[in-house]
Amino acid sequence: MLLLILKRIGLGLITLFIVSLITFVGVEVLPGDACTTYLEREAYGAALDACIKRLGLDVPAYERYLDWASNVVRGDFGYSLSGEMPINEVLGPRVKNSLVLASVSILIGIPLAIVLGIITALWRDKLPDIMISTITIFSMTIPEFISATLLILIVAIWLGWLPGIVIIPSDATFYELLSNIILPVVAISMIMTAHMARMVRSSVIQVMASDYVQMAILKGVPYWKMVFRHVLPNALLPAINVVALTIAWLLGGVVVTEVVFNYPGLGRLVIESISNRDLPVVQALAIILASIYVGINLIADLMTLMLNPRLKSLQIRK
Amino acid sequence: MESNLIIKDKQKNKLEKAFEILKTMASKPSGLIGLTIVLFHVVLALTSPYIAPYDYKAISPNTMLLAPSAEHWFGTDSLGRDVFTRTILGGRTALTVTFFGSLIALLWGGLLGIFCGLVGGKIDDVVMRVVDAFLSIPWILAMLLIVSLLGTSTEVLIPALGFFYGKGIVRVARAATHDVIAKDFIVSARARGHSNMSIIWNEIIPNVRDAILVEGAMRWSWMLLGFSSLSFLGFGVSPPTPDWGLMISNARGLMSFAYWSVIAPIVGLSSLIIGINLTADAFAKALGIDRSTKAPV
């Protein structure tokens, strides 16, 4: 069991190592280095030399990679080009803001998804299922920027209930954030809930068709007791992994949502750093976002392992 | 007698088979709606240059932000351009880029996945680790980086999207290959001394084709979402090319008094994505593949 956990952590670390290689090689291979892209037309003479010196671009690539990687392992991402300040200082408040947004969305989204998934599965092909399933299909297929724009148009502009654009500095306090994040949270959790509710639905339907549920029905177990004792634990377990993958996949959508609402989180930093051609920050963001992805999947794997005694004896899953 | 039937079945025209699948897809309301929407958009994309009432890039200060009327069905935008014209033209680039992008994704993702599933061992391990690593980089970060360094031309976008959306197909193709590889007909093909290439071509591809095609159809809608997100963020097609994502992002600032210029492209893009999704779902069901328990990777 312990070995299995260690193996999974090891695999996660290998993945992250490859990610760091990919981002580094990618930036190396694509035309233009950090200095020429950043300085653009002024990339000549003394300014270019100074920039190359400052970033240490005059040493060979593999030495730079080793240097950079060893610093990253110690939690130091180096300096950003545009702000000329340590990347850690740029990232700090952004990570906190995105964390607030993500955790509120997840706290609302997951329970809602489970409830909706169960309702649609138990009343399969009846009116509640048809209604909820139609809405989930809409909210999971429409791009984030469209649902966010529509939310602003309807709730903020036509109804005038909430401010449409978040106008807070990136170092706003927690309470300032909370009052501003209602619409972004709705936009993000809408899509997340839709994806997860669909998975819970099909998972519950699968379990309901299994032999032991038939057995429970024939034994005369009361309906709701059967649902909560026999069906749900077995149906929600396999959903954990899929939910983790979905959350991780939605990271990309969070970027877009943050831009639409002008929310000062990691997502907007992605756009800002790419617009400013600030490659060191982009590299740092790639590593951080990939770590989040790997971390979420690792937690999901471990949770499934802990909760499912049957998997403990099995070989590691690919 | 039975072998006769099988031979007949094999000889059955491929077109006829495709038609049968289409018929199964259209037999359910959601599939029929999806197919209708996609067909509508394809026809519109093909004919719109000939039926567009105005010039999509004609700027005119006299017609700025007009409300919908008989002359301008969907009103005009902040530069005085006809929104109806731009909306019916707005899907052309998106459809072309994502269609060819999906084809590229299907090809390289499917072949690499089949290859990995067949050979297994060290090569498989290494490739899957790299695919995992690529999967863990958010698509938007990677796409933005590529586009900002290489430019936003179609020649860059199609291979870039094709590459990035193919990595998930590798996994699907590999898993599907694992399912067939232990079957008797593969073992007997091996025993007959067929080469790996011949086994892939004659035995594996016919059996995993359905799963990969369904995955490709799904990926088409995700790619469309990705492509229009890029345009929305200002990293996709460049103005004045009419494109829904770009139109929405341009009109967004003025939507408190000119909502028509943002609603029209929203309806266009949403309907196409929903249409492709419904079609892909119906396609999967017609082929007997359940994808509702899969994560969107």
Residues of B with Cβ-Cβ distance to A137 under 8 angstroms: 274, 277-278
> Is A138's CB within 8 Å of B135's CB?
no
Distance (Å, whole) CA A79 – CA A93: 16
Name the H helices within chain A.
2-29, 34-39, 45-55, 61-73, 87-122, 127-141, 144-151, 174-180, 182-208, 211-219, 223-226, 232-249, 251-260, 266-275, 279-307, 309-312
| Out of A175-179, B197-201, B249-253, least confident range | A175-179
Average pLDDT over residues B230-255: 82
| Out of A17-21, A303-307, B162-166, B172-176, least confident range | A303-307
| Tens-binned pLDDT, residue by residue, of chain A (318 aa) | 778 788 888 888 888 888 888 888 877 776 666 666 666 666 666 666 776 666 666 667 777 777 777 777 777 777 776 666 777 777 788 888 888 888 888 888 888 988 998 889 888 888 888 888 888 888 888 888 888 888 888 887 777 777 666 666 666 666 766 767 788 888 888 888 888 888 888 888 888 888 888 888 888 888 888 888 888 888 887 777 777 777 766 777 788 888 888 888 888 888 888 887 777 788 888 888 888 888 888 888 788 777 766 655 554 443
* B132: closest chain A residue by CA: A15
Q: Is residue A31 less than 8 Å (CB to CB) from chain B?
A: yes
Helix B121-136 and helix A279-307: axis angle, to 10°?
110
Q: How would residue B290 be classed by pLDDT, with cut points 50, 70 and 90?
A: low
Does B240 sit behind a cis peptide bond, omega within 30 degrees of 0 on the bond before it? Answer: yes
* B218: closest chain A residue by CA: A141
CATH homologous superfamily of domain A92-317? MetI-like (1.10.3720.10)
Average pLDDT over residues B41-60: 80
Residue A138 structure tokens: 């809409």
Residues of A with Cβ-Cβ distance to B293 under 8 angstroms: 199, 202-203, 206, 238, 242
Task: Give the number of other Cβ atoms within 10 Å of residue A108's Cβ.
Answer: 17
Residues of B with Cβ-Cβ distance to A270 under 8 angstroms: 140-141, 144
CA distance B47 to chain A (A): 25
> How confident is the model at residue A170, as a pLDDT?
61
Interface mutation vs chain A, best among B127, B141, B161, most A CBs within 10 Å? B141
* A250: closest chain B residue by CA: B138
CA distances to A53, A64, B210, B238, B273 from B162, rounded to whole Å, are: 37, 31, 19, 20, 18
Residues of B with Cβ-Cβ distance to A142 under 8 angstroms: 270, 273-274
Residues of A with Cβ-Cβ distance to B255 under 8 angstroms: 149, 152-153, 157
What's the length of chain A? 318
Q: Look at the pTM and tell me if it is higher than 0.95.
A: no
Please give the ipTM for the structure prediction.
0.77
Residues of A with Cβ-Cβ distance to B146 under 8 angstroms: 30
Interface mutation vs chain B, best among A145, A243, A247, most B CBs within 10 Å? A145
> How confident is the model at residue A171, as a pLDDT?
64
- Which residue from B132, B141, B255 is facing A157, i.e. has the nearest CB? B255
Average pLDDT over residues B168-191: 83
Residue B297 pLDDT exceeds 50: no
* B257: closest chain A residue by CA: A157
Residue B242 pLDDT exceeds 70: yes
CA distances to A119, A125, A247, B217, B291 from A191, rounded to whole Å, are: 18, 22, 10, 20, 18
- Which residue from B137, B228, B269 is facing A22, i.e. has the nearest CB? B137
CA distance B268 to chain A (A): 11
CATH fold group of domain B29-49+56-286: MetI-like fold (1.10.3720)
The larger pLDDT score, comparing residue B61 to residue B122, is at B122
The pLDDT tens digits for A281-303 are 888 888 888 888 888 888 887 88
CA distances to A301, B101, B145 from B178, rounded to whole Å, are: 22, 26, 34
> How confident is the model at residue B101, as a pLDDT?
92
Residue B276 pLDDT exceeds 60: yes
Residue B62 structure tokens: 């006299």
CA distance B292 to chain A (A): 6
Domain map of chain A by residue range?
A: 92-317
Q: CA A172: distance to chain centroid? A: 22
Report whether B45 contacts B38 (CB < 8 A): no
Domain map of chain B by residue range?
A: 29-49+56-286
A173: left (phi over 0), alpha (psi -120 to 50) or beta: beta
The larger pLDDT score, comparing residue B122 to residue B49, is at B122
Residue B5 pLDDT exceeds 70: no
DSSP string, A106-120: HHHHHHHHHHHHHHH
> How confident is the model at residue B6, as a pLDDT?
53
CA distance A45 to chain B (A): 22
Give B192: exposed, middle or buried? Use CB within 10 Å, 0-12, 13-18, 19+: exposed
Distance (Å, whole) CA A178 – CA B191: 67
> Is B145's CB within 8 Å of A143's CB?
no
Q: Is residue B32 less than 8 Å (CB to CB) from chain A?
A: no
> How confident is the model at residue B292, as a pLDDT?
56
